[in-house]
Copies of this chain bind each other. A is one copy, B any other.
């Protein structure tokens, strides 16, 4: 089954490129040709590839090979491929490419992409590039660089179709035409008033419905969703998702139109936020997916691992307090991992669900009791089932009903505490301004180990006489 069916082609094509699908065989061929530096053959193949596929190929190569392949690319493909590359490969290229070449590439990019590239260069090189860019492009890039990378300002591009409300449909189409020659992603014409305030928008498809001499303000949509430059990218993505839009204008606090964000960038943001969530939940960093060195990955993870280790040392100390109990009934040790694993798991489930619920708006922090009640009801059932099961196992194994009661009741109590703590901590950290995903991480599990083992061994000590 073939996911990408290349369409039939026509000899009278405007564009002579017939896109090739990149399969494993083609990849190996290209890698082979790259290694043997077969310029001519490579050029023949590469010009038929999508830039994203070229980038994917380069990601698989080592730095020198990918640099060589990049040097063969025409500027329009090189430009897009550069933007699609893995961070480490891009960094290498930007470090090694001659400034002239970077300049040529950046000059042709949309302002948001240009800002991403310039922003990732070291200070002096960035300055040098900015100086050689055209006046308009460099002032746009400089403006965009002032906004935080993960805010609406950092995501937006300056290139957009803007008309005045009194302009005609004909004029709006002219504006779109001029833009469309240089640029993709033109879906909407924005409408401003005398003070550059955003007052409306017209979808491209609607522009076609009206007579050329009609004034834009008579047909525009007045209630345009927009964001200010400081809105976080996760919130921006939420607006795209909720309202099913493909572009979103960005304004300053006064409502002056500054730029627009398109959905292709939002798809990347969603992926990025997703990776970050998952990485945080296991105590790592999304950057790990980029091809960082193992030493750097270990450095990213170690702080979380060491904190977890310290919390677990707490569990060790707790156990040490109960050495006498353990020494008397050594079988208790066999049930420690069971109780801590199940309660840790319940806590993690609740936390993960609550973290997602907060992110998607399913959970409203002002009505915190709703998820708390639901998760508690759930953990009562899970704790009940697991507690009963393990009570029977314990009673049979040790040959004592009391032993079964101790493990069963401990399981029940600690599962419920975990469910409660797992639900409350993400909401609390959100309230306090932290990222809720962090609290759903390994700390959660480690903390539940301490709690579960404490309850279990305390109860066992209390009832030691009957064990």
CB contact between A222 and one of B13, B185, B355 (< 8 Å): that residue: B13
Give Cα distance in the complex from A309 to B392, angstroms: 13
Give Cα distance in the complex from A52 to B361, angstroms: 12
List the B side residues contacting A177 at CB < 8 Å.
Answer: 208-209
The answer on a CB contact under 8 Å between A319 and B334 is: yes
The answer on a CB contact under 8 Å between B241 and A283 is: no
Instruction: Say how far A21's CB is from chain B's closest CB, in angstroms.
Output: 10
List the B side residues contacting A336 at CB < 8 Å.
Answer: 319, 333, 336-337
Q: Is A26 an interface residue (CB 8 A)?
A: no
List the B side residues contacting A306 at CB < 8 Å.
Answer: 385-386, 389
Give Cα distance in the complex from A330 to B177, angstroms: 80
The answer on a CB contact under 8 Å between A8 and B281 is: no
Q: Is A401 an interface residue (CB 8 A)?
A: no
Give Cα distance in the complex from A113 to B304, angstroms: 44
Give Cα distance in the complex from A185 to B206, angstroms: 11
Give Cα distance in the complex from A220 to B13, angstroms: 8
A-side interface residues, number (CB < 8 Å): 155
Instruction: Say how far A386's CB is from chain B's closest CB, in angstroms.
Output: 6
Q: Which parts of A312-352 form the interface with B (CB within 8 Å)?
A: 312-313, 315-317, 319-320, 323, 326-327, 330-331, 333-338, 340-342, 344-346, 348-349, 351-352
Give Cα distance in the complex from A366 to B271, angstroms: 24
Instruction: Say how far A312's CB is from chain B's closest CB, in angstroms.
Output: 4
Q: Which of A68-76, A127-135, A260-268 contacts B (4 or more CB under 8 A)?
A: A260-268
List the B side residues contacting A381 at CB < 8 Å.
Answer: 294-295, 298, 302
Instruction: Say how far A323's CB is from chain B's closest CB, in angstroms.
Output: 5
Give Cα distance in the complex from A209 to B10, angstroms: 21
Given contacts A8-B255, A208-B176, A264-B246, is CB(A309)–CB(B342) below 8 Å? yes
Give Cα distance in the complex from A44 to B38, angstroms: 71
**Per-residue B-contact encoding for A272-294, CB less than 8 Å = 1, 0 else:** 00110111011110001100001
The answer on a CB contact under 8 Å between A385 and B270 is: no
Give Cα distance in the complex from A278 to B227, angstroms: 29
Q: Is A463 an interface residue (CB 8 A)?
A: no
CB contact between A337 and one of B246, B277, B340, B353 (< 8 Å): that residue: B340
**Per-residue B-contact encoding for A157-175, CB less than 8 Å = 1, 0 else:** 0000000010000000100
The answer on a CB contact under 8 Å between B331 and A56 is: no
**Per-residue B-contact encoding for A188-228, CB less than 8 Å = 1, 0 else:** 00000100011110011110110000000111111111111
List the B side residues contacting A205 at CB < 8 Å.
Answer: 176, 179-180, 184, 186-187, 204
The answer on a CB contact under 8 Å between A217 and B3 is: no
List the B side residues contacting A3 at CB < 8 Å.
Answer: 227-228, 231, 235, 239
Residue in B closest to A177 when the chains form the complex, CB atoms: B208
Give Cα distance in the complex from A421 to B462, angstroms: 40
Given contacts A7-B223, A180-B208, A227-B3, is CB(A338)–CB(B309) below 8 Å? yes
List the B side residues contacting A223 at CB < 8 Å.
Answer: 6-7, 9, 15, 17-19
The answer on a CB contact under 8 Å between B251 and A5 is: yes
List the B side residues contacting A52 at CB < 8 Å.
Answer: 242-244
Instruction: Say how far A31's CB is from chain B's closest CB, in angstroms.
Output: 11
Q: Which parts of A91-119 form the interface with B (CB within 8 Å)?
A: none
CB contact between A378 and one of B220, B297, B342, B351 (< 8 Å): that residue: B297
The answer on a CB contact under 8 Å between B14 and A218 is: yes
List the B side residues contacting A362 at CB < 8 Å.
Answer: 59, 86, 289
Q: Is A377 an interface residue (CB 8 A)?
A: yes
Residue in B closest to A277 when the chains form the complex, CB atoms: B278
Q: Is A400 an interface residue (CB 8 A)?
A: no
List the B side residues contacting A465 at CB < 8 Å.
Answer: none
A7-B199, A10-B199, A177-B209 given; 13 more Cβ-contact pairs under 8 Å: A12-B217, A86-B362, A240-B267, A244-B267, A278-B281, A278-B356, A298-B385, A302-B382, A305-B382, A309-B342, A333-B333, A345-B442, A445-B445
What 7 A-B pairs have minimum CB-CB distances, sorted nearest first? A294-B377, A316-B334, A19-B223, A298-B381, A244-B264, A180-B205, A312-B338
